[in-house]
Structure 1
Amino acid sequence: MTTQHINDTMTDPTNRTRLREAATSAFAENGFHATTTRDIAAAAGMSPAALYIHHRSKQDLLHVISRDGHQEVLQLVRDASASSGGPEDRLAEVIRALAAYHAENHTIARTVNYEIHSLSPAQQAEIGGLRTAVLREVQAVVEDGVEAGVFDAPDPELTTLVLLSLCVDISRWYEQDRPWSPGELSDYASVVALNAVRPRSGQRIDAATRQPSTRSASERMATR
């Protein structure tokens, strides 16, 4: 076997994927600090030195996993929030998408959400920016619902944080042997979310006064 063949084998992109998958599982199960580079390499079926061919350090590997995971969630939220329909339909789509993602990808979701403090300050800042972008995308939908009078959310940002926590926490406890499929769970989560933000007794809320409105939607629109 030539040196070039060995180098090509070690830098094969599939090896990078194997390392990421092994690291994700190990971080989710044991935590970042309890996982060694040898653990990751062994799980990937590679030599201990293999990790350093693709990543500068174990922390760099966690950063890549976290960055890519958050970017995927951000795009997912953007797509869902841009769906057709009013604020209720759009919020339902967002919650379904987030809940399903955190159930279907619970291993990587545990890692990217619960190991963020193991990153460097600069890495945390980058991931924090992505998390804020996700928050603002969902918050915009909540604010649209408040403005339309179909959501009662005195503090849209806090409301959004609560709704996001509902979805993110699924990754902490969800396993494949649970009695609910990701689809069933995501549908239920969307119902819970909508019930949490809808005015009581189906009343519409005036966005300016925070009081039940007696005007129809068309009347409110006509005065804007």
Structure 2
Amino acid sequence: MTAAEETVLGEDKPWGEVTPEAARKLLVAAVEAFAERGYHATTTRDIAGRAGMSPAALYIHYKTKEELLHRISRIGHDRALEILEEAAAGPGTAAERLAAAVRSFVRWHAERHTTARVVQYELDALAPEHRTEIVDLRRKSEAAVRRVIEEGVAAGEFNASDVPGTTVAILSLCIDVSRWFNTQGRHTADEVGALYADLVLRMVGARK
């Protein structure tokens, strides 16, 4: 599935707020190029060609290739944080909220696997100031999950001795779905989300 096809899945349209239309097309083209070739092997000419534009037209909207990557990364990390914080602050027990967070986070990485690979795995290609910004968003996402686990431990719902380590392991497990998920595979995004939610509850020693 291409980044362009991902934008029509459900109501969550990752580039829907980007205007004008030419700027949105460039983001979609950049995602596809970065996912296929890697950031460093992709040129602005590659991106412009995929978007049906000239390289000169690209520079009207984005000054550099890195600016495109930063925009993609910022939108993706903002969405990831929104998903996790919304689930973490929702109703129910800590176990129910943690399971909801994992299901939603995994589903996003499965349904948007092309986009998510770029968002999650091209961090080191960002300029230092942009990398610092994105790392801060990642820490906030980590904090949202850690908070739920801490609440579960305090309430006697979970038996997790290393909460920070468990938090990192959970997020890594969810993010890695973007590497291997295949829309033509045996399991749907929802099924993988449910499976991972069950696995995570086992990881934290949730009481049945």
TM-score in terms of structure 2 length: 0.89
Q: How many pairs does the alignment contain?
A: 190
- 1:75 is aligned to 82
Could you tell me how far 1:50 is from its partner in structure 2?
1.6
Query: Hey, what does 1:190 align to over in structure 2?
Result: 197
Match of 1:37 in 2: 44
Tell me the equivalent position of 1:113: 120
> What amino acid does structure 2 have at the position aligned with 1:21?
V
Structure 1 segments (4+ residues) deviating >2 Å:
none
1:49 partnered with 2:51: no
- Distance, in Å, in 2 between the alignment partners of 1:96 and 1:176 is 17
Measured after TM superposition, the shift of residue 132 of structure 1 is 0.2
Tell whether 2:173 aligns with 1:158: no
The correspondence for 1:22, drawn from 8, 26, 29, is 29
Rg (Cα) greater in structure: 1
Amino acid at match of 2:167: T
Partner Cα distance (2:129, 2:111) in 1: 29
TM-score by length of 1: 0.83
1:132 aligns with one of 139, 162, 166: 139
- 1:97 aligned counterpart, secondary structure: helix
- Report Cα offsets for 1:119-177 as digits up to 9, x if no partner: 11111000000000000001000000110111111111110100001100000111211
Partner residue of 2:181?
174
Tell me, what secondary structure is at the counterpart of 1:35? coil
Partners of 1:81 and 1:29 lie apart in 2 by: 33
Identical amino acids, percent of aligned pairs: 45
Can you give the 5+ residue segments of structure 1 that lack an aligned partner in the other structure? 1-11, 204-224
1: CA distance between counterparts of 2:177 and 2:57? Answer: 33
SS in 1 for 2:109: helix
How large is the RMSD of aligned CA atoms in angstroms?
Answer: 1.2
Corresponding residue number in structure 1 for 2:69: 62
SS of alignment partner, residue 194 of structure 1: helix
